[in-house]
């Protein structure tokens, strides 16, 4: 359906951009990148990404995650597991591609534009006037010379100009109207989706099979590896579920304010008072809810108090680097440490279940037949119970619209969506394959309410933003496929 609508969109600007950039790649040679230089971690069509650029971007990303984790420093393993280094490099490569695109399109940033931008930066001003000595001293203390910093500012302005080009792209009024029309065209469905592997825990294993598996010395390494791969399951640290109210600052006025709040709060009104008084932006929306956290997630002063409180307690003001907090502990979980020896029978059972391919195939077939029968008999409760048992995806009176073609957390294929919209109410559709049970019953069809002028305005903004983002993504993808990107992994 989205492809059918594409004809109503004006692609003049997109085509214009692509033709210029792609042509420039086809008729220009690639500069060689010397991996011997110690200053570059990568190069994009000869444009270098220096160690300094990379390290600066990496530091910003690590600091962002540190703040999310309550101020505790990230370990190298955490950085590797999250792929932060590669993610930072990919972001820098994309920036270089966009800047190269700006050059190919003839975007020019004048020296006067750069100077005016720098002069307007507040951290280079004294008494609201640009201070050239302050400017030079700050650059020097951060390891920059003026020409380097001016190049960074010029690139930033160039980036803004190309962003303005993308943001200026608009889709046609006819396209917007068709989007609204197809979003209003909806089908209500019920169904379930279950993966073959999720049924493995239901495969029958005898105690004799478990004992035989444990007695075989060759299986010990398998058990140890399975245990180490699931340490977070078998070694659960003590956890606290808490809320907090934050007053930023460490002066007497901040302390006086937090004490006044402490005198008012109770377990019943903590949520409401947090929304009103806290100076934590996230806390204003969720009543100061911090969810569950284990040791090492919050700053030490905060943790020390929280882990020594009882369920239902409200703390006295606690001072941290962020200001003053009042903490309420909503619940606690004691540490749950299970040794390898204690879980060997469970690990052996899981390992055996994975080897019983024929039993698993039969179970998949039987479960699929049971679900199909239940849906045909309007017995959704049985289908839901079967899916719940193995943590499958459940679609209970879920709506699918003809534009997005999304079913809750599932992206339908065009063929699947087409079948759903063509099927009569009561039809059971089987989208499964040898590795998945995926059955959908069409419950009914409906037309959504017409959008108000305000909703239509929001839809126009949304579609223009979506179109602009898609153009940019496609441009970067095309350039990346044609660009010569060389990286020095030893410097990452």
CB within 8 Å of 233: residues ≥ 6 apart: none
* 34 and 165 share one domain: yes
* 485 and 411 share one domain: no
User: Domain boundary at 303, 334, 365, which?
Assistant: 334
* Domain membership flag for residue 96: yes
* 94 and 222 share one domain: no
* Domain membership flag for residue 30: yes
How crowded is residue 409: how many other Cβ atoms within 10 Å of its Cβ?
8
Cβ 398 vs Cβ 408: under 8 Å: yes
Tokens 């039969």, residue located: 362
pLDDT digits (tens, 9 = 90+) for 371-395: 999 999 999 999 999 999 999 999 9
* Domain membership flag for residue 107: yes
Q: Which of 4-8, 198-202, 292-296, 367-371 is the most confident on average? A: 367-371
* Cα 211 from Cα 261, distance rounded (Å): 61
User: Domain boundary at 300, 334, 368, which?
Assistant: 334
User: Domain boundary at 302, 334, 366, which?
Assistant: 334
* Domain membership flag for residue 219: yes
Domain count, the chain: 3
* 349 and 200 share one domain: yes
Confidence (pLDDT) at 18: 40
* 203 and 249 share one domain: no
* Cα 185 from Cα 176, distance rounded (Å): 15
* 152 and 35 share one domain: yes
* 156 and 203 share one domain: no
pLDDT top residue among 220 and 475: 220
For residue 70, name the pLDDT band (cuts at 50, 70, 90).
low
Which of the 8 DSSP states describes residue 31?
A: P
Give CA angle at 157 (151, 159), nearest 5°: 105
Assigned token pair, 157: 């302005």
* Domain membership flag for residue 457: no
For residue 314, name the pLDDT band (cuts at 50, 70, 90).
very high
pLDDT digits (tens, 9 = 90+) for 85-142: 888 888 888 888 888 878 877 888 888 999 999 999 988 899 989 998 888 888 888 7
Confidence (pLDDT) at 39: 67
* Domain membership flag for residue 382: yes
Q: Considering the chain, what is the average pLDDT of its residues?
A: 84
CB within 8 Å of 166: residues ≥ 6 apart: 468, 469, 471, 472
Confidence (pLDDT) at 340: 94
* 225 and 242 share one domain: no
* 365 and 409 share one domain: yes
* 347 and 323 share one domain: no
Cβ 214 vs Cβ 352: under 8 Å: no
Cβ 314 vs Cβ 267: under 8 Å: yes
Domain that holds residue 416: 184-229+341-447
- Reported in sequence order, the residue ranges of 308-460 that DSSP labels E, i.e. its strands, are 318-320, 323-333, 336-337, 393-401, 406-407, 410-411, 428-430, 436-447
**CATH number assigned to the domain comprising residue 30:** 1.10.4030.10
Share of the chain above pLDDT 90, in %: 39
* 49 and 92 share one domain: yes
Q: Is the pLDDT of residue 262 over 60?
A: yes
Strand partners, 245: 326
* 18 and 134 share one domain: yes
* Domain membership flag for residue 456: no
Q: Is the pLDDT of residue 15 over 60?
A: no
* Cα 20 from Cα 260, distance rounded (Å): 64
* Domain membership flag for residue 178: no
CA dihedral (18, 24, 25, 31) in degrees, to 10, reads -150
């Amino acid at each position: 359906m989205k492809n059918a609508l594409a004809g109503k969109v004006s692609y003049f600007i997109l085509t214009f951009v692509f033709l210029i950039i792609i042509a420039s790649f086809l008729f220009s040679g690639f500069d060689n990148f010397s991996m011997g230089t110690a200053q570059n971690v990568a190069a994009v069509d000869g444009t270098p990404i220096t160690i300094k650029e990379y390290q600066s971007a990496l530091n910003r990303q690590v600091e962002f995650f540190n703040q999310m984790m309550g101020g505790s420093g990230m370990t190298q393993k955490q950085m590797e597991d999250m792929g932060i280094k590669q993610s930072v490099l990919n972001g820098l490569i994309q920036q270089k591609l966009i800047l190269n695109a700006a050059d190919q399109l003839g975007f020019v940033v004048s020296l006067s534009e750069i100077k005016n931008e720098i002069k307007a930066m507040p951290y280079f001003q004294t008494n609201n006037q640009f201070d050239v000595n302050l400017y030079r001293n700050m650059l020097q203390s951060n390891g920059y010379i003026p020409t380097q910093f001016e190049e960074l500012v010029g690139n930033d302005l160039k980036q803004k100009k190309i962003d303005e080009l993308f943001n200026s792209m608009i889709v046609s009024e006819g396209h917007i109207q068709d989007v609204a029309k197809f979003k209003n065209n909806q089908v209500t469905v019920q169904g379930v989706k279950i993966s073959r592997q999720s049924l493995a825990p239901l495969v029958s294993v005898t105690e004799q099979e478990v004992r035989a598996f444990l007695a075989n010395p060759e299986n010990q390494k398998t058990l140890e590896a399975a245990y180490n791969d699931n340490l977070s399951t078998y070694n659960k640290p003590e956890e606290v579920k808490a809320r907090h109210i934050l007053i930023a600052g460490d002066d007497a006025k901040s302390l006086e304010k937090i004490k006044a709040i402490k005198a008012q709060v109770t377990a019943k009104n903590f949520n409401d008072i947090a929304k009103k008084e806290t100076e934590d932006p996230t806390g204003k929306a969720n009543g100061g809810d911090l969810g569950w956290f284990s040791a090492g997630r919050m700053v030490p002063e905060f943790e020390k108090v929280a882990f020594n409180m009882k369920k239902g307690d409200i703390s006295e003001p606690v001072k941290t680097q962020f200001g003053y907090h009042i903490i309420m502990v909503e619940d606690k979980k004691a540490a749950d440490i299970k040794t390898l020896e204690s879980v060997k029978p469970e690990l052996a059972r899981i390992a055996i279940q994975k080897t019983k391919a024929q039993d698993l195939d039969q179970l998949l077939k039987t479960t699929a037949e049971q679900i199909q029968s239940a849906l045909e008999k309007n017995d959704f409760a049985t289908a839901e119970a079967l899916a719940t048992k193995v943590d499958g995806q459940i679609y209970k009176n879920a709506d699918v619209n003809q534009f997005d073609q999304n079913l809750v957390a599932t992206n339908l294929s065009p063929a699947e969506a087409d079948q759903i919209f063509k099927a009569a109410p009561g039809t059971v559709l089987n989208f499964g394959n040898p590795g998945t049970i995926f059955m959908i019953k069409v419950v009914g069809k409906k037309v959504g309410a017409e959008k108000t002028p305000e909703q239509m305005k929001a839809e126009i903004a949304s579609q223009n933003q979506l179109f602009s983002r898609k153009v940019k993504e496609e441009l970067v993808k095309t350039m990346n496929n044609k660009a010569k990107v060389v990286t020095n992994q030893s410097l990452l």
